[in-house]
Structure 1
Amino acid sequence: MFDCMEALGMGPHQLYDVTSRGACMLRKASPFFPRLDPFAWTSSASVQSVETQSTSSEEMVPSSPSPPPPPRVYKPCFVCQDKSSGYHYGVSSCEGCKGFFRRSIQKNMVYTCHRDKNCQINKVTRNRCQYCRLQKCFEVGMSKEAVRNDRNKKKKDVKEEMVLPESYELSGELEELVNKVSKAHQETFPSLCQLGKYTTNSSSDHRVQLDLGLWDKFSELSTKCIIKIVEFAKRLPGFTTLTIADQITLLKSACLDIL
Structure 2
Amino acid sequence: MHSEADSTSANSTINADQGNEDLQICRVCGDKATGYHFNVMTCEGCKGFFRRAMKRNARLRCPFQKGTCEITRKTRRQCQACRLRKCLETGMRKDMIMSDAAVEERRALIRRKKREQFETQRAGAKGLTEEQQTMIRELMTAQMKTFDSTFTHFTDFRLPEVLSSGLEIPESLQTQSREEAAKWSKIREDLCSVKLSLQLRGEDGSIWNYKPPADNSGKEIFSLLPHMADVSTYMFRGIINFAKVISYFRDLPIEDQISLLKGAAFELCQLRFNTVFNAETRTWECGRLSYCLEDPAGGFQQLLLEPVLKFHYMLKRLQLHKEEYVLMQAIALFSPDRPGVVQRRLVDQLQERFAVTLKAYIECNRPQPAHRFLFLKIMAVLTELRSVNAQHTQKLLRIQDVHPFATPLMQELLSITNS
Fold similarity call, TM over 0.5: no
The structure with more radius of gyration: 1
Report the TM-score when normalising by structure 2: 0.21
Q: Which has the higher contact order (CA 8 A, sep 6+)?
A: 2
- Greater share of strand: 2
TM value normalised by structure 1: 0.32
